Amino acid sequence: MSSLRDYQRKRDFSRTREPAANDAAAAGHRAIFVVQLHHASRRHFDFRLQVGDVLKSWAVPKGPSYDPRVKRLAVEVEDHPVSYAGFEGDIEHGYGKGHVDQFDIGVWTTRGDAEEQLQKGHLQFELFGKRLKGGWHLVRSGRKERQPAWFLIKAKDTFAGDVEADDLLDAKMARSTRAAAKTPATKAAAKKSATRRKSIPKARKVSRLRLAKAAAALAGARPAPADNDFFKPELARLRETPPAGDQWLHEVKWDGYRILAAIAGGEVKLWSRNALPWNDRLPDIAQSLASLGLHSARLDGELVALDADGHSDFNGLQQTLSGEAQLPLIYVLFDLPYLEGSDLSRVGLLERKALLQKLLAHAPKHLAFSTHAIGNGEDAFRVATEQQLEGIISKRVDSAYHAGRGDDWLKIKRLESDEFAVVGYTPPKGSRSGFGSLLLARPDPAVATGWIYVGRVGTGFSDRQLRQLAGTIAANGSHKPTVKLTAVDPLLRDARWVKPAAVAEVYYRGIGNKNLLRQPSLKSMRTDKTATDLSDSDRAAPRKAAPAARPPAPGSTSARKGKPADIAISHPDRVVYPDDGYTKQDVADYYTRVMKWFLPGVIGRPTSVIRCPEGTAKACFFQKHLMQGLKHVGSAKLKEESGAQATYIYPLDADSVIELVQFGVLEFHPWGATVEQPDRADRMVFDLDPGEDVAWERMIAAARLVRKLLDQIGLASFLRTTGGKGLHVVVPLNPGCPWPQVKEFARAFASAMAQAHPMEFIATASKSRRTNLIYVDYLRNSRGATSVASYSLRARSGAPVAVPLRWDELGKLKSGHDFDIRSTPKRLARQRKDPWAGIDDTRQNLDDMMEKLG
């Protein structure tokens, strides 16, 4: 990537109106994108994305296209300063001479590190502008050009359609195009831009009339005029333990910023919890709310950022809002106190949330519904603790929406972090600048406006935070303490004290014997809160940590919650396989019909699932850890490769499977081990994956050869289609074997096949070398790796199924996806015997096999 030195070298700033490379003002705001229409010697669109403190730039001759089938050439050019985004007008001399119009500007997001994606040659991102919206791709071309060539491609989403950049020019840009037309090509472009006009495809809107009627019909609803002014939010009171009883529901305590949305006359206004307008900071959320098509509403929720794994990331949220990162932002909504002319503040919470869920049924992905569980507060808090979430919010199911803090909403937080007012600082030492540590205090419960000193925090600050805080908090102060001191600390001798204003959230390891925080480190500076918010929180002193609850044993009463399942499938008519018309209810019906064959392959095994909440046409994602709201699925703490423990899910019974389907699960991928013995494999899988141009007859021959070689060393094997292109040869191990032994055997076996038959097989994962070869994938045989379950659906067109077979059926197969959601239950109805009968009784292991393999 080029630097701003290239930008400066190519320009004479005494002769050009373009801005110089000075971008001190670029920090502190969301990362932007800008597209400029440039009438240079060759008319083109300049496409620019802010990454850090520069605009990465590409010249796109024909401009962006909304058609996903169109690959638009994008030639990489030098980085530009962020201030260039506001440039319009004529470049009169030298490099780039011609007129520049601003075609579009907005914010952009991406999951993961933008620089890393660009280095790898594929950046996936979203744009939130007036003209350019939705998902896009930048893919590096393999062609060798004088300048690096990329392709700009529209993602397949609700905004995709037959719209070109020239269709979206306004009158000013169209005039510029006509004025600059000098060659036959530019004249044709000018004529096209003057005649074609198309609008951007819009997302599906909710039925306002139906929702308005539903809102007005709720008990307690009252007619009321609409406005989009700030409204005071309901706040939660801190409590040590969750309340008991079914009169309470429990939500995740989201790790983000509280945001209030008010809509009137279709105009969306966003507010922070302390009444600051946030539309300019959150155009993506404002756009998403506007796309609902509501005339009037009030919504309450939490703004969170998602990292590359789809987990909320508070530090990432702050970095995104300051322009240091570009993570996708999600507005998680949990209340609806007003809708389409009806004041719902006196309607019971459960009814408000049910209406909110209907409102969000087809909402853009940047709006999410905060799910909840009713009753079992201790279990909800245990799950939150195991998943290392912030905690839970418990709410009375029949409560009204009241501004301020009361007893209807309670927050039960994990004990590892808390919020404190910053009341001073110590001087810096050594090479550190600004300050040494921040002094912290909590509200004094005995004095209405008093504060009690709890300690100091000096670790966890970034260089940028040190600079910012040095210019604010550490810019003044006095030697006189502004808080009550409960302990003598000699390091406070040179401290400077300030009035409580800023709020810091810190991690700590309990409370010491002088009531000071032990080993505190900064989690974040809470710029959305002030010290007044803490003094109004009616909270007690920080509490000491309690041990986390142990996960329930497989099949235990606690794991099953002691109740029979009553699992309703919400949105049963939602189409999840759009190419085939299969619905969410069809998926649930399928798993119900095949349940007795499906369960033996997943029950009691750590299982990764693929969730497609909006169907296979939209984003699908793997999930292996416990999620909030599950009542019938088992959970177990297992050690990961990093050494840390995580809570994995596993099916206990049929109720588990149907509940996961209700959560949008299509595919199930279990470990080759159980939760009771996670370090010992009882299944070994050889995945035969064909490269391009491999005929199916060769796949049949390959599977038979694997079986023959395994037979020769005394290992029985079983066959399964994958629902994709390949086949699985599965080897039961009874008693099980340690994972390192299994992985080494599988590697040696695959390598031996590749060496003996180099024109047929390959044992390395490189896709570039697989053409016309069959990859013998042994990597599924390591701790934590998974393989698709027998009778699991696949999230692919046609709704194919992975199906176990008898070896004598192999010759009749035409592909690895011969069976689907319709044909598989019919096959099982005709089946007299399980093709894998006896697999659990086959006693064999690898103790002597490595020596036989040679």
Which residues belong to the active site? 253
Q: State the Cα–Cα distance between residues 298 and 261, nearest whole angstrom.
A: 6
CA dist 682 and 739 (Å) reads: 9
Tokens of 145: 């050009």
Q: List the structure tokens of 473.
A: 């908090």
Under 8 Å CB-to-CB from 304, ≥6 apart: which residues? Answer: 254, 255, 256, 312, 313, 314, 317, 329, 330, 332
- Give how far Cα 796 sits from Cα of 55, 389, 576, 689, Å: 38, 33, 10, 17
State how far Cα 294 lies from the chain centre: 26
Q: Yes or no: say if 121 and 164 are a contact pair by the CB < 8 Å rule.
A: no
- What does DSSP say about strands 367-369 and 329-339: parallel, antiparallel, or unpaired? parallel
Using DSSP bridges, classify how beta strands 54-60 and 72-81 pair: parallel, antiparallel or unpaired: antiparallel
Distance CA 208, CA 212 (A): 6
- Among 588, 815, 540, 599, smallest CA distance to 703 is for 815
Cα(702)–Cα(696) distance, rounded to whole angstroms? 10
Q: For the CA atoms of the chain, what is the radius of gyration?
A: 30
CA-to-CA dists, residue 296 to 87, 228, 358, angstroms: 37, 8, 16
CA neighbor of 62 nearest in space, from 50, 48, 47: 47
Find, among 794, 368, 824, the residue nearest to 616 by Cα: 794
For residue 686, give the nearest of 771, 770, 734, 748 by alpha carbon: 748
The runs of H, that is alpha helices, within 155-276 are 171-180, 184-195, 208-216
Q: Taking CA 470 as the corner, what is the angle to CA 464 and CA 474, rounded to the nearest 5 degrees?
A: 155
Structure tokens at 96: 């780039």
Structure tokens at 323: 């322009």
Q: By three-state DSSP, how is residue 283 classified?
A: helix
Bridge partner list, 60: 45
The pair of three-digit structure tokens given for residue 147, joined into one six-digit string: 């300048």
Assigned token pair, 374? 């009713």
210, with CB counted inside 10 A (0-12, 13-18, 19+), is exposed
419 with 443: CB under 8 angstroms?
no
Cα 127–chain centre separation: 17
CB atoms within 10 A of CB 548: 16
Q: Terminal CA-to-CA distance of the chain, rounded, Å?
A: 50
Quote the strand ranges of 54-202, DSSP E.
Answer: 54-60, 72-81, 89-91, 98-109, 122-128, 133-140, 149-154
Residue type, 106: G
- Please, which residues have CB within 8 angstroms of residue 658's CB and are 6 or more apart in sequence? 565, 567, 569, 588, 591, 592, 632
Q: What is the rounded CA–CA span in Å between residue 97 and residue 555?
A: 73
3-state secondary structure of 710: helix
CA–CA dist 74, 35 (Å, integer)? 12
**Residue 466 dihedral angles phi and psi, to the nearest 5°:** -60, -45
Task: Evaluate the omega torsion of the peptide bond into residue 445 and state whether it is cis, within 30 degrees of 0.
Answer: no
